[in-house]
Chain A
Amino acid sequence: GAVVSQHPSWVICKSGTSVKIECRSLDFQATTMFWYRQFPKQSLMLMATSNEGSKATYEQGVEKDKFLINHASLTLSTLTVTSAHPEDSSFYICSATSGRTGNDEQFFGPGTRLTVL
């Protein structure tokens, strides 16, 4: 199956700093990438949908100025958590798909554990 990687796998940062997380599709071109957030023992909550070459679409309640998403190429999307605070600590997961029809499989990255001190 298709492979999606995330870097870093875990990161610890100080409050007030910014952190960038990369999501890459290794063997396919991802027209769409998704960013999810998962709190301990909870489900995945969609944060935003990112289409290559266009602005990301954020879900209701997600601050677009705090969670900056860039999808500059068909194989790379980045999520930057700006001015991170302890409440931003979470498991961030990306997924990628090569289609737009609704039944295209999403391939998930292994996730990035962010801890803000």
Chain B
Amino acid sequence: AQSVTQLDSQVPVFEEAPVELRCNYSSSVSVYLFWYVQYPNQGLQLLLKYLSGSTLVKGINGFEAEFNKSQTSFHLRKPSVHISDTAEYFCAVSFAGGGNKLTFGTGTQLKVEL
């Protein structure tokens, strides 16, 4: 069975500082990895995804993530955050042959302060 762990429920950070949101997964088969952002009372928007190839993936809004197979991690990073990045961030995983079913982590609330 697959599982996704986001260890940090909340991450406070000052504007223009760098941030890393952690995500670890567990799976016995090959996985596809995703990061989504959710603003209050809205659906989810895809930030980036790892399917194959280069382990460093660049997404929208200046975010990037690196797939580390040996550590089963897919941490999300941004070198300089903005107030508008305040939101809930979800890591998710699906696997080949799984029919696009996504398993989500519990989410990390990123709060950017002045």
Contact = CB atoms under 8 A, between A and B. Distances in A.
A117 B103 CA distance: 31
A113 B90 contact: no
Interface in A70-117: 91, 93, 95, 97, 99-106, 108-111, 113
B7 interface: no
A101 B100 contact: yes
Nearest to A94: B43
B45 A104 contact: no
Contacts of A110: 42-43
A102 B32 contact: yes
Contact of B100 (A6, A32, A41, A108): A32
Contact of B90 (A6, A34, A43, A99): A43
Given A42-B106, A43-B90, A103-B32, A108 B99 contact: no
Given A102-B32, A103-B94, A105-B49, A93 B100 contact: no
Given A42-B106, A44-B90, A103-B51, A93 B99 contact: no
B107 A102 contact: no
Given A97-B100, A108-B43, A108-B45, A102 B106 contact: no
Interface residues of A, number: 29
Contacts, number: 68
A68 interface: no
Size category of the binding interface on chain B: 20 to 34
A32 B99 contact: yes
Interface in B18-50: 32, 36, 41-46, 49
Contact of B43 (A46, A93, A103, A104): A93
Contacts of A101: 96, 100
B39 to A, nearest CB: 10
Given A46-B101, A91-B41, A102-B97, 5 more contacts: A6-B43, A32-B99, A42-B107, A44-B102, A103-B51
15 contacts: A32-B99, A34-B102, A43-B105, A44-B44, A45-B104, A91-B41, A102-B100, A103-B51, A103-B94, A104-B100, A108-B43, A110-B42, A110-B43, A111-B41, A111-B43
